[in-house]
Amino acid sequence: GANIMSLYATGTITGALNATTITGTGTKWSDAKIGITNGSVLFVSSNAGVDGVYQVKRVISDTSIELVQPIYKAFTNSKYSILVAESASTAAWSNQLAATLGYYQAQMDGWQQIMTGTGDIALTAPDGTKVTIKSFTKLSNDLDKKANAGDNSDITSISGLKTALSI
């Protein structure tokens, strides 16, 4: 089968001369769904074109990658791209698929809780942001506690009124 290649180029990178670690800003390198793995190829870009080509040794975090070879030309807040081999190897593809399916399962579990749970539900948005939302049951119960328009039979005190009522 043919290998399908794509590029990951979100954010910018900085690397010092002779260092073997680069730092990213606005990057999500450790997200296994993206597929950056040991051996991925990284291109450093500038207005002049490609300034450097490096091999990824390992992803340390969302914002840190260790390279196989030292940086031979420093770069700061540079554009870059990492060649992601989505199906170049069975192992890489399997890892990416497992991460993607795990993410989708977590999303489905979250929606199940939203629809059938009773309290607040903690979810992770696609961009990694942690969010808390109310289950449908909690929303419904909260709304049931509000006074209906025109239905004032449950009001037992008017002490909060600031203006006297004229009848």
Instruction: Examine the domain organization and report whether 113 and 73 are in the same domain.
Output: no
94 has a pLDDT exceeding 80: no
Instruction: Examine the domain organization and report whether 69 and 37 are in the same domain.
Output: yes
Average of per-residue pLDDT across 112-123? 86
Q: Is residue 64 within 8 Å of 22, Cβ to Cβ?
A: yes
What mean pLDDT is reported for the chain? 82
For residue 11, give the nearest of 63, 50, 57 by alpha carbon.
Answer: 63
Instruction: Examine the domain organization and report whether 17 and 76 are in the same domain.
Output: yes
Instruction: Examine the domain organization and report whether 24 and 78 are in the same domain.
Output: yes
CATH code of the domain containing 41: 2.40.30
Looking at residue 67, its pLDDT comes to 95
Q: Say which residue, 123 or 126, is predicted with more confidence.
A: 123
Q: Which domain holds residue 124?
A: 104-144
Distance between CA atoms of 80 and 31, rounded to whole angstroms? 17
Output the CA torsion sign for 152, 153, 154, 159.
Answer: positive
- In the chain, how many domains are there? 2
Which DSSP string do the residues of 29-88 spell out, in sequence order? TT-TTT---TT-EEEEEETTEEEEEEEEEEEEETTEEEESS--SS-EEEEEEEEEEESSS
Instruction: Examine the domain organization and report whether 11 and 80 are in the same domain.
Output: yes
Which DSSP string do the residues of 94-147 spell out, in sequence order? HHHHHHHHHHHHHHHHHHHHHHH-SSEEEEE-TTS-EEEEE-HHHHHHHHHTSP
Average of per-residue pLDDT across 91-111? 73
